[in-house]
Amino acid sequence: MRYEGIVYRPPSEAYSLIVQVTIGCSQNTCAFCSMYKDKKFRVRDVKDVIEDFAIARATYSSVSKIFLADGDALICNMDDLKIILEYIQEHFPECKQVTCYGSPKSILKKTQEELNILKMLGLSMVYTGLESGNAKVLKDMEKTASPEDMIQGADKIHKAGIRLSVTAISGLGGRDMWQEHAIDTGKVLSKMKPEYIGLLTLMVEPEVLLEQRIKEGRFQVLNPYDILVETKLMLLHMDCQGSIFRSNHASNYVNLSGTLNRDKNKMIEELDQAIQGNIHLKSEWMRAL
């Protein structure tokens, strides 16, 4: 397959066919993110995208899942998305799931009817990054969307019948805003009611904006104990009946997974055990993004 630069995908897309329909991230502003800093965002020519799918078809006899990369494939115009999804329907009839990243802005830019059409053409799930449910934290992190945008976007995705997977980041409020971050993230997720919630833990990579703020003393990273306390507070404010919750990313200190709200108390008990020192935390050197 032909890929431009490093290709990122959600952990659950590890075995998917990945085709880049955009290069980079349409926002590329978030203070904590290093993912697409080396790429200037652009939408690929749809002819090149279809050529990649043709190469994949000639290479793989069976493709059950397809992920449209890079960041924010949902920003593509409807004509391009229709061509891509119709090609998949025709040439990959065995494919059971087509997914992509979608920024809140891209979701909101699509009309309800357009999202309904994308669902009809096979778009099964959209991954979006909430990161924090607190407006100040989002602003500080230069995320160009508000909690209200996230809730409104989630509503449109649900109405279209497309599944929604949302990520949030433990520790993103730092020492000053940890409580607000935890409580508001729990509350906003409760309104978004995604099918899947993925909780990562903040890791500050070299040369992101946040690194400079840390050096200048303007942001204090939470220690592992504080992260556990914060995660507990977040879970306590989450009312997401039926959402599958996972905090088992390589960046997390403790792995949690369960179905909300059924397993909420079980996960809180696990956190309590970890807070009391009865569960071994992942060592720093083993953490990764």
Q: Closest approach of Cβ 89 to ligand SF4, in Å?
A: 28
3-state DSSP call for residue 164? strand
| Identified binder of ligand SF4 from the candidate list 19, 23, 25, 271, rule CB under 6 A | 25
Q: Which of residues 96-125 bind ligand SF4 (CB under 6 A)?
A: 103
Question: Do the beta carbons of residue 82 and residue 50 sit within 8 Å?
Answer: no
Contacts of 25 (CB under 8 A, 6+ apart): 33, 35, 36, 39, 41, 70, 71, 72, 103
Residue 256 touches ligand SF4, criterion: CB under 6 A: no
Identity of the residue, 10 or 186, whose beta carbon is nearer to ligand SF4 in the bound complex: 10
Q: Closest approach of Cβ 142 to ligand SF4, in Å?
A: 8
Residue with tokens 């995908």: 9
Residue 199 touches ligand SF4, criterion: CB under 6 A: no
Residue 74 touches ligand SF4, criterion: CB under 6 A: no
Identity of the residue, 22 or 229, whose beta carbon is nearer to ligand SF4 in the bound complex: 22
Q: Closest approach of Cβ 279 to ligand SF4, in Å?
A: 29
Question: Do the beta carbons of residue 92 and residue 63 sit within 8 Å?
Answer: yes
Residue 71 touches ligand SF4, criterion: CB under 6 A: yes
Identity of the residue, 25 or 88, whose beta carbon is nearer to ligand SF4 in the bound complex: 25
Residue 28 touches ligand SF4, criterion: CB under 6 A: yes
Residue 33 touches ligand SF4, criterion: CB under 6 A: yes
Identity of the residue, 16 or 106, whose beta carbon is nearer to ligand SF4 in the bound complex: 106
Identity of the residue, 63 or 247, whose beta carbon is nearer to ligand SF4 in the bound complex: 247
Question: Do the beta carbons of residue 184 and residue 147 sit within 8 Å?
Answer: yes
Structure token pair of residue 76: 């593509």
Residue 129 touches ligand SF4, criterion: CB under 6 A: yes
Q: Closest approach of Cβ 58 to ligand SF4, in Å?
A: 31
19: amino acid identity, one letter: V
How far apart are the C-alpha atoms of 88 and 121, rounded to whole Å? Answer: 9
Number of chain positions touching ligand SF4 (CB under 6 A): 11
Q: Is the peptide bond before 255 cis (omega within 30 degrees of 0)?
A: no
Single out the residue of 61, 79, 89, 60 nearest to residue 21, CA to CA: 79
- Stretch near ligand SF4 under the rule CB under 6 A, chosen from 25-33, 52-60, 242-250, 267-275: 25-33
Q: Which helix (H) or strand (E) holds 130?
A: strand 123-131
CA 255 to each of CA 112, 200, 207, 279: distance values in angstroms, whole numbers, following the listed order: 36, 10, 28, 10
Structure token pair of residue 122: 């096979």
- Stretch near ligand SF4 under the rule CB under 6 A, chosen from 27-35, 240-248, 257-265, 268-276: 27-35
CA 138 to each of CA 132, 150, 165, 191, 242: distance values in angstroms, whole numbers, following the listed order: 6, 11, 19, 17, 26
The contact set with ligand SF4 (CB under 6 A) reads: 25, 27-30, 33, 35-36, 71, 103, 129
